[in-house]
Amino acid sequence: MATHTPESRKARGSGADIIQVARRAGVSPATVSRVTNGRSTVARHLAKRVWQAIEELGYTPNPQARALVSGRSRVLGLLISEITNPFFPELMQSFEDVAGEHDFEVMIGSTNYNRERARIFIRRLVQRRVEGVAVMTFRAESHFLDELIAENIPLVTIDVSANAARSLVLEVDYAQGIDEAVQHLARLGHRRIGFASGPMPHLTNLRRKDAFLRSVKQIGLAEQDAPLFVGDHTFEGGTQAALHFLGLDPHPTAIVCSNDMMAVGVLRVMAERGIRVPQEMSVIGFDDIHLAEFVNPPLTTVRMSRQDLARAAYKGLEQLWTENPAGTRGPIRVATSLVVRQSTDSPGA
């Protein structure tokens, strides 16, 4: 319950307003506005005087006033699952960069898989009048979004549709990267490959798993040579998966994981058991988080570019704004691709 002193209002620095600029340039405020927004044309010599006055006074338009009259806050929302998964901070930064290029600010909220946190954050988004929200949570809990939908706020999601008029789904091409991963393993000579999946209600995990199954079939593996384990996308989930696969007889010579954190868990178990990676066991992750480079050995993984994802999300919002009715509302695709590091090699190398 902080309260400011009333003086704080006028204590601000240079803060020139549009009227002062207009006076200095010898024009009306309307003309200054026309110049800064470049909508309507203004005579050369007047525009020049206006720019000069702006320069001299260090004027920047008050965004609150601007937002008030235009009805556009120039603020976007970004919803992520958990800040401790390094994938998200990187995505966050990319999204802020794209948004910033277009003069938007971003409100960021991480749900931490906590319903109440999400609710509170979404309430804040609505109150701040955001112009659009990128829901980057890989989770199907669209009832989270009901309040946003009710307010008719444009919504971009991953994999799973928000089922609302002003919304749009980004389609991540998991198959592409996972195909590369499986073929990479096949080329190295692996004939028994485990897949450590994330939790199944997530549509994204279903997609990743299906892509894996299709790939192994394509290289001619029998079903029992491509065992699955369903974990929970965390480090611990990875350790459980590793223990499960090691318990099989014969056990797989390679493990593909549904995300990097699980892969790191797998690496840990191997290290504890004295099983050398990649000589005795190959491991592949998914996401290419920063950490993937720093574990031992550096992780071969499927990269989903955060820049691409962030740009795609922004582009999606743009499409929703222009509301292109007949428009090119084609799906927006995000590519994935394999990054080979040192956690994969031929079995028994």
Applying CB under 7 A, does 27 fall inside the site for DNA?
yes
Residues between 168 and 227 that touch DNA (CB under 7 A) = none
Which is nearest to 61 in space by CA: 4, 16, 123? Answer: 16
Determine the Cα–Cα distance for residues 301 and 256; give it in Å rounded to an integer: 9
What's phi and psi for 117, nearest 5 deg? -55, -45
- Please report where in the chains the tokens 């400011």 appear, as a residue: 4
Contacts with a copy of itself, residue ranges (CB under 8 A): 1-2, 4-5, 7-14, 60, 62-65, 67-68, 70-73, 83-84, 86, 88-90, 92-93, 96, 100, 102, 105, 107-110, 120, 124, 126-129, 131, 150-153, 235, 261, 264-265, 267-268, 271-272, 290-291, 293-296, 318, 321-323
Listed in sequence order, the residues at least 6 apart from 336 whose beta carbon sits closer than 8 Å to its beta carbon are 172, 173, 174, 176, 177, 178, 302, 303, 304
CA distance readout (Å), 158 to 2, 96, 196, 210, 232: 38, 18, 21, 17, 19
Query: C-beta of 49: minimal distance to a copy of itself in Å?
Result: 22
CB of 53 to DNA, least distance (A): 12
Residue 14 binds which entry of a copy of itself, DNA, none, CB below 5-8 Å type-dependent: a copy of itself
Structure tokens at 163: 């089922």
151 counts as binding DNA under rule CB under 7 A: no
| Residue in 111, 285, 280 with CA at minimum distance from that of residue 197 | 285
CB of 42 to DNA, least distance (A): 3
* Binding-site partner at residue 11 among a copy of itself, DNA, none, CB < 5 to 8 Å by type: a copy of itself
Q: Which does 124 bind (CB under 5 to 8 A by kind): a copy of itself, DNA, none?
A: a copy of itself
Q: Contact, 215 vs 178, CB < 8 A?
A: yes
**HSE-CB of 100 using CA atoms within 13 angstroms:** 6
Distance of CA 17 to the CA centre of its chain: 38
The C-alpha atoms of residue 157 and residue 42 are separated, in whole angstroms, by: 42
Tokens of 344: 């994969």
- In the complex with a copy of itself, which residue's Cβ is closer, 120 or 248? 120
Question: Minimum Å distance from CB 182 to a copy of itself?
Answer: 26
Cβ closer to a copy of itself: 86 or 227?
A: 86
3: Cβ contacts below 8 Å, ≥ 6 apart = none
Q: Compute the least distance from the CB of residue 314 to DNA, in Å.
A: 22
d(CA 285, CA 302) in angstroms, rounded, equals 6
Query: Could you tell which of a copy of itself, DNA, none binds residue 264, using a CB distance below 5 to 8 A set by kind?
Result: a copy of itself
- Applying CB under 7 A, among 2, 11, 69, 326 the residue interacting with DNA is 69
Q: In angstroms, what is the minimal distance from the CB of 306 to a copy of itself?
A: 10
Which spans of this chain sit near DNA (rule: CB under 7 A)? 6, 15, 17-19, 26-34, 36-37, 39-43, 46, 59-62, 65-66, 68-71
